[in-house]
Amino acid sequence: MNWYLKVLRQYADFKGRARRKEFWMFYLFNTIITLFFRILDHLLGTNYGDYDDQGILESIYGLIVIIPFIAVTARRMHDVGKSGWFMLIPFYNFYLSVIDGEPHANKWGDNPKGIGNDSMINQIGKE
C-alpha cells in the first residue's frame, strides 16, 4: 500500500524513474480499488451506460488516478532507459514494464534500486 501512496504523492511527477515494484504495486492496488468501486456502484445502483457497465464512483475514481497512472508509467519507461512516449506502444509497453531497469544512472536519474531506497519507502507518511 505504501507504493500506491507514494505514486499518489507524486501525482503529476513525470521526472525520474520508477522501479518495477512501484509500478506493479500501484497497478495492483489501483485494480483492487477499481473493482471495489465497481461492486459498490452495482450495489448502490449508480451504474450508467447502455449495459449498466459503468459506475459513477468508479468513473470518478478513474478520473482522479489517470494522471498518477500516466506519470508512474512514464517513470517506469525512464527506468528502462526509454522515453515516456513508449507507453503508447501497447505490447512493447508491457514488455518494458516487466523487465528490470537499467542498473546504472541514466539521463532520467539514478537507479531507484540504489542502496537505502527501501528504507525511504518506510518513511512515507511519517513526516
How confident is the model over 6-18, as pLDDT tens digits? Answer: 999 999 999 999 9
Task: Report residue 48 as a C-alpha cell.
Answer: 450508467
User: Which residue ranges make up each domain of the chain?
Assistant: 2-101
Q: Grid coordinates representing 22? A: 512501484
pTM greater than 0.75: yes
Contacts 24+ apart (CB under 8 A), 25-34: 26/68, 26/69, 26/72, 29/1, 29/3, 29/4, 30/4, 30/65, 30/69, 33/61, 34/58, 34/61, 34/62
- Give me the percent of the chain exceeding a pLDDT of 90: 60
